[in-house]
Homo-oligomer: A and B are copies of this chain.
Amino acid sequence: MAIAASISSRVIDAVLGQRLAPDARLGEQQLAALFGCSRTVVREAMIDLAGRGIVTVSPRRGWYLTAVTDVFARELYDARLIIETGLLRQLGARGGRLDGAEIARLRAHLDAQHTAVQGADVGRRSHLLGDFHVCLARCLGNGVLAGKLRDLTVLTTLYTMRHQTPGDARRSYEEHVGVVEALAAGDAREAEARMARHLGTWELKTTHARGPDPLEGLRRALAPPAGLPRDHATTP
């Protein structure tokens, strides 16, 4: 059964690292061959991932990474905002603060993000920037919400890969630093506000891209080249 968990984990890593895009096909046979096990084990992993919303099964057709719709993405961002600010708010309400070891862990994570942001590996960058939120939630002491947040982060990545946001990695990193610094200073309330702003800007970026336009993909792909006359139109 550890094999199934490993498959799930590898798929999640691949998504976070942007090596797998939404609608990517995950054939049972292929994964079985790749991991040297039978379809039964692959199936367990797929069912697990499906329960977390990361893959979707089309009956008798196959398993695919879920394509996150706009309205669902809105729910995702709402959920993340509620969970992450809620955890920080709770820390503040209880007058608690993170101990040195946890602050150190967060700072180490920030260091990794820093080098990744300066590097060229866009997958690793995305992975670390997303994983920071999970790491923070875990430091805040709630494993249940941390686990859910990991799934939400994966789904968020699946969404942003399509609607490629500006991807201002540097800014995201700096906002992460701001949150950790507030926590290190023992100011949980400020950390909460900064996190709300951090997630809020994301939400805005996607909000302007909303609107019921099911032809978004086609429209973008088939848009006429700007500035060129339609010199090969079929109906003049």
Interface set of A (CB-CB < 8 Å, partner B): 1, 43-44, 47-48, 51-53, 57, 59, 72, 75-76, 78-79, 81-83, 85-87, 89-90, 141-145, 148, 152
Q: How far is the CB of A218 from chain B (nearest CB, A)?
A: 27
Q: How far is the CB of A70 from chain B (nearest CB, A)?
A: 14
Q: Given A76-B144, A79-B145, 4 more contacts at CB 8 Å?
A: A51-B52, A82-B83, A83-B86, A148-B148
Q: How far is the CB of A45 from chain B (nearest CB, A)?
A: 9
Question: Is chain A's binding surface mostly helix, strand, loop or mixed?
Answer: helix
With the chains together, A59 CA to B5 CA distance in Å?
Answer: 14
With the chains together, A206 CA to B196 CA distance in Å?
Answer: 31
With the chains together, A1 CA to B52 CA distance in Å?
Answer: 16
**Given the contacts A48-B51, A86-B86, A79 and B142 also touching, CB distance less than 8 Å:** yes
* Contact in complex: A75, B1 (CB < 8 Å): no
- CB-contact partner of A87 in B52, B82, B144, under 8 A: B82
Q: Name the B residues within 8 Å of A83 (CB-CB).
A: 82-83, 86
Closest to A45 in B: B47
Name the residue among A1, A47, A85 with the largest chain B CB count within 10 angstroms: A47
With the chains together, A131 CA to B202 CA distance in Å?
Answer: 33
Q: Name the B residues within 8 Å of A143 (CB-CB).
A: 75
* Contact in complex: B78, A142 (CB < 8 Å): yes
Q: Name the B residues within 8 Å of A81 (CB-CB).
A: 86, 90
Q: How far is the CB of A46 from chain B (nearest CB, A)?
A: 10
Closest to A86 in B: B82
* Contact in complex: A144, B79 (CB < 8 Å): yes
* Contact in complex: A75, B152 (CB < 8 Å): no
* Contact in complex: B1, A59 (CB < 8 Å): yes
With the chains together, A48 CA to B90 CA distance in Å?
Answer: 30
11 contacts between A and B (CB under 8 A): A47-B48, A48-B48, A48-B51, A51-B51, A53-B144, A75-B142, A75-B143, A75-B144, A79-B145, A82-B90, A83-B83
With the chains together, A47 CA to B45 CA distance in Å?
Answer: 9
Q: How far is the CB of A67 from chain B (nearest CB, A)?
A: 16
Q: Name the B residues within 8 Å of A47 (CB-CB).
A: 44, 47-48, 51
With the chains together, A141 CA to B143 CA distance in Å?
Answer: 25
Q: Name the B residues within 8 Å of A43 (CB-CB).
A: 44
